[in-house]
Amino acid sequence: MKLCTYIDGGRERVGAIVGNDVIDMPFPDMKTLIQAGIPKAPSGPKRPLSSVKLAPPIRPATMLCSGSNYRDHNKEKANTPISGKEPEFFVKTADCVIGPEATIVYDEKLTKKLDAETELAVVIGKPGRHIPVERALEHVFGYTIVNDVTARDRQVRRNDQGFTWYELGRSKCFETSGPTGPWIVTADEIGDPQRLRLRTRINGELRQSSSTGNMIWSCAHLVHFFSANMTLQPGTIIITGTPGGTAWSTDPELGGKWVGGDGSEELVPAKGYLKPGDVIECELEKIGILRNTVGPA
């Protein structure tokens, strides 16, 4: 089932998407629906999906994030000593989250090297702490898409000896850096989350294409990993990393090296970082397309 949050009369409402229509659901917000479990087939008045404005499907207080989780992405960028050896743990807050078709702000005072990263996002349905890998997917309600918008010139730091490290606070957690949506697809419709095709198009150019099977740490492993730190609650989102093809890969100043993804499809190398007017389409098989436009501050 596809579940969305949409704007109606200035208020956010929860709906199920059936075909090209939205059917209102009797829940005050998406977190309440998730806590109740996957709902039965909805019934009630329909409205065309094209007639509603979608909001982020859910607004998690904290988004748990894992970086350096695709082998081809690690090959294209300047790496730290732990890159690819353990999940990189950082967070985005609710202040970062925007919905589909919302504007990603290009703020030159923050960054001149704004980049996009399409990521599969795991939505937790059942609470748990110290969750075993083999039971982890039992705690998943569904999946959505997150664009991990990144300020690369804030992220990559180097000292005079050539040591590289990442500043994952200012580079990852800022207003509009977490576009999310367009909806949540329940886990029963996704099946194996490691068998999905991921793509990014910017102004129609294919920049990223990979399988989620190319993750170093699977969705199940990441649920296990993050549950060691905190009890994962219904509505928690975990984002799972991005593959090769980022604009970073064409930036030798920051240690970028063009690799060309995993070789499954021919990619178009970026000619630069994001600018106002750029349209980003983040696509995940079985979920859909999250579309946002970059705009001035």
* Bridging pattern class, strands 178-186 and 97-98: parallel
Average pLDDT of the residues in 26-30? 95
Average pLDDT of the residues in 278-294? 98
5: pLDDT confidence band, cut at 50, 70 and 90? very high
Q: What is the DSSP letter of 156?
A: E
Average pLDDT of the residues in 79-95? 88
Residue 79: predicted pLDDT: 82
* Bridging pattern class, strands 288-296 and 205-211: unpaired
DSSP 21-48: EEEE-S-SSHHHHHHH-SPPPP-S-EEE
Average pLDDT of the residues in 5-25? 95
pLDDT for 159 beyond 90:
no
Cα–Cα separations (whole angstroms), residue 269 to 3, 122, 152, 258? 34, 28, 17, 8
Look up residue 274 and give its amino acid. L
78: pLDDT confidence band, cut at 50, 70 and 90? confident
pLDDT for 42 beyond 90:
no
Look up residue 170 and give its amino acid. R
Average pLDDT of the residues in 49-76? 94
CA–CA gap between residue 270 and residue 183 (Å, rounded): 28
